[in-house]
Amino acid sequence: MNTKYNISSFCHIKNNQVSLNGSVIFSEQHSNFSDFIKAAYKAQNTKYPKFFKMDHLSKLAFIAADVLLKEQNIDIEKENNMALVFSNKASSLDTDLMHQKAIQHKDNYFPSPAVFVYTLPNICLGEISIKYKLYSENSFFIFEYFNAAHLFTYTNSLLETDKATSALCGWVELEGDNYEAFLYLVSKEGNTEHNKQNIKTLYNT
Amino acid sequence: MEALKQELKENIIEQLNLEDMSVEDISDDEILFGGGLALDSIDALELIVMLDKNYGIKLTDPKEGRSIFESINTMATYIQEHRSK
């Protein structure tokens, strides 16, 4: 139970920038999230038309995960026992509000099925799992703030009990045009020890 | 009828977020489901909502959709015969 786990890589998306392991890999000024994330998707050169059908939270989580998992050269034809442990504050509020607008008036009541299916935050985990063929444990937690202690404890528990061999963890927060993603990969690879302090330090990088 | 088909293609691209497609990419007799557009079950539900919202057509039996949504041609014919707005 004392196996040492490390953080092998991490990704930030905020302030019109995408960075990998602290280095900016994409930066383009846009006045809204929608245009920025579309530009980031194109820069990633990931041919995945379903991206355009996702809600904003899923797009944010998807691109952050894509940046990290591409770097790992994951073979999606093989089963990857990678857990997903995500968190945020606003849950799926951005999409919830969009759905609520569509059902606001009795005489103009046209809820969109394509919007409704995203009115849960953990749907973004499904989108990542579909793309990367992950059939492993996944959880989405709602906190008032970035909770490194909980992410650390929960992830270690999954790894130490062999529920997963690696874990993609972090924070994907989105409300309107305010967005921030911080994802990191925990496994036996890498040089940064997986502990609360290091998670906090990387989050604040 | 041609104007309706054009309108349908534009609406489908917009409503179903077919970002990389243009009206010219969809032919009138192209199979919409199971073909090159890669539409799924949620897209089918969106089309049912679109019929209601834009043309006042309420599909009570979703199975009807299979033949109606076969192609732009079948959609346009059905809409022309059943539209209330």
Convert the pLDDT of each residue in A91-113 to its tens digit.
999 999 999 999 999 988 999 99
CB contact under 8 A, B42 and A111: no
CATH number at residue A141: 3.40.47.10
CA-nearest residue of chain B to A52? B17
pLDDT at residue A116 greater than cutoff 80: yes
Confidence label for A75 from pLDDT (cuts 50, 70 and 90): confident
Q: Is residue A95 one of the residues assigned to a domain?
A: yes
* Partner A contacted by B17 (CB < 8 A): yes
Q: Which residues of chain A neighbour B49 with C-beta distances below 8 Å?
A: 110-113
pLDDT at A159 over 90: yes
**Cβ of residue A42 closer than 8 Å to a chain B Cβ:** no
* Cα–Cα distances in angstroms (integers) from residue B11 to residues A117, A178, B54, in the given order: 20, 29, 10
Number of CB pairs < 8 Å for A and B?
Answer: 28
Burial of A204 (C-beta count, 10 Å sphere; 0-12/13-18/19+): exposed
SS (H, E, C) A120-133: CCCHHHHHHHHHHC
Domains in chain A, number? 1
Per residue in A134-150, pLDDT (tens digit) is 999 999 999 999 999 99
* Residue ranges making up the domain that contains A158: 6-203
Check whether B70 has a pLDDT greater than 80.
yes
Strand partners, A6: A187, A193
Q: Which of B38, B45, B46 minimises the CB distance to A49?
A: B38
- Residue A3 confidence (pLDDT): 65
What residue of B is the nearest CA neighbor of A48? B20
Q: Do A114 and B52 touch (CB under 8 A)?
A: no
Cβ-based contacts of A112 with chain B (< 8 Å): 46, 49
Q: Note whether A110 contacts B: Cβ–Cβ < 8 A.
A: yes
Decide if A113 and B16 are in contact by the 8 Å CB cutoff.
no
Q: Is residue A189 part of a domain?
A: yes
Specify the higher pLDDT residue, B84 or A73.
B84
DSSP annotation of A191: S
Architecture per CATH, domain B2-82, reads as Orthogonal Bundle (1.10)
Q: Can you spell out the DSSP letters for A3-15?
A: ---EEEEEEEEET
Domain assignment present for A1 = no
Question: What six digits make up the tokens of B52?
Answer: 């209601």
- Considering only CB atoms, B20 lies closest to which of A49, A111, A117, namely A49
Cα distances from A45 to residues A24, A63, A157, in angstroms, run 16, 11, 35
> Which among B19, B38, B49 has the least Cβ separation from residue A112?
B49
